[in-house]
């Protein structure tokens, strides 16, 4: 029971932090500042829907994709941890991570008719960090039980739901939250993400090299 509760807490916290609804909302505001209300709502809906589909697909078939390419879960866990670590460092220093969105994608997306899919849904909401997280978490959930398996997609739905809710109310949020407050929250979330990333790497290294945890090779 304790393992399940710990996993559930890890799952919800890591997915919500890496999706980062607040950062996604601020990027959404900058991309839709010339649109009217109904157009903004459509972008928010389409981006959330597409990001949800992408993350759920990788949640359920991500492990099979790794097997198809001969990639061990330990290697992917370590790689995902390193990726999350880099994103967390960017958050601590109040930067938009290049792993989630490059400057070209951010400003180039404004010239396209459909910014909901690119760059808002991918890579801002459902970026490589989020994809890596759900694959690793689902693999771990399979070792715990059916209840844990249900937690992973529930965490994804919750994170996307929060993001959609915040984008719908982006005008109000922007008026209430200044740059100073955003940087403070972003840095705190970045520190938590770094801790989660380090834990991913430690678990991956111990699984790949049992001698590190005192086991036999």
Cα–Cα–Cα angle for 158, 163, 167, nearest 5°?
150
CA-nearest of 18, 12, 15 to 124 is 18
pLDDT of residue 157: 97
pLDDT of residue 113: 42
Asked if residues 123 and 47 have their Cβ atoms less than 8 Å apart, the reply is no
102 vs 147: CA distance, rounded Å: 37
Burial of 4 (0-12, 13-18, 19+ CB in 10 A): middle
pLDDT in tens, 138-150: 988 998 889 999 9
Q: Is the pLDDT of residue 97 over 80?
A: no
Burial of 204 (0-12, 13-18, 19+ CB in 10 A): buried
Asked if residues 151 and 77 have their Cβ atoms less than 8 Å apart, the reply is no
pLDDT of residue 94: 67
| Domain assignments of the chain as residue spans, ordered by start | 2-213
Asked if residues 186 and 91 have their Cβ atoms less than 8 Å apart, the reply is yes
pLDDT of residue 63: 84
CA dihedral 45, 48, 52, 55 (to 10 degrees): 160
CATH no. of 2-213 = 1.20.1250
87 vs 67: CA distance, rounded Å: 26
Tell me what the mean pLDDT of segment 89-116 comes to: 58
- The better pLDDT of the pair 128, 100 is held by 128
Q: Find the radius of gyration of the CA atoms of the chain.
A: 18
Which two structure tokens, joined as six digits, stand for 91?
């958050």
Q: Is the pLDDT of residue 215 over 60?
A: no
Q: Is the pLDDT of residue 40 over 60?
A: yes
Q: Is the pLDDT of residue 111 over 60?
A: no
pLDDT in tens, 44-91: 999 999 999 999 999 999 888 888 888 887 787 788 788 778 877 877
83 vs 60: CA distance, rounded Å: 21
Residue 184 Cα distances to 70, 188, 204, 216, angstroms: 41, 6, 31, 45
Q: Is the pLDDT of residue 217 over 60?
A: no
**pLDDT tier at 16, thresholds 50, 70, 90:** very high
């Amino acid at each position: 029971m304790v393992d399940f509760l710990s996993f559930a807490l890890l799952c919800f916290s890591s997915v919500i932090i890496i999706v980062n609804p607040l950062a996604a909302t601020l990027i959404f505001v900058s991309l839709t500042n010339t649109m009217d209300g109904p157009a903004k709502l459509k972008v928010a809906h389409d981006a959330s829907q597409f990001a949800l589909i992408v993350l759920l697909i990788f949640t359920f078939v991500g492990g099979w994709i790794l097997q198809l390419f001969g990639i061990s879960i330990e290697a992917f866990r370590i790689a995902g941890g390193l990726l999350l670590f880099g994103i967390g460092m960017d958050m601590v220093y109040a930067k938009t991570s290049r792993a989630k969105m490059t400057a070209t994608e951010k400003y180039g997306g404004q010239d396209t008719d459909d910014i909901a899919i690119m760059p808002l849904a991918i890579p801002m909401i459902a970026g490589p960090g989020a994809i890596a997280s759900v694959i690793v978490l689902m693999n771990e959930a399979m070792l715990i039980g059916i209840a844990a398996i249900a937690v992973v997609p529930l965490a994804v739905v919750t994170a996307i739901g929060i993001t959609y809710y915040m984008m719908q109310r982006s005008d109000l949020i922007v008026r209430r939250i200044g740059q100073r407050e955003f940087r403070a929250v972003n840095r705190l979330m970045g520190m938590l993400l770094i801790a989660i990333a380090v834990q991913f790497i430690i678990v991956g290294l111990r699984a790949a090299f049992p001698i590190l945890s005192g086991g036999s090779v």
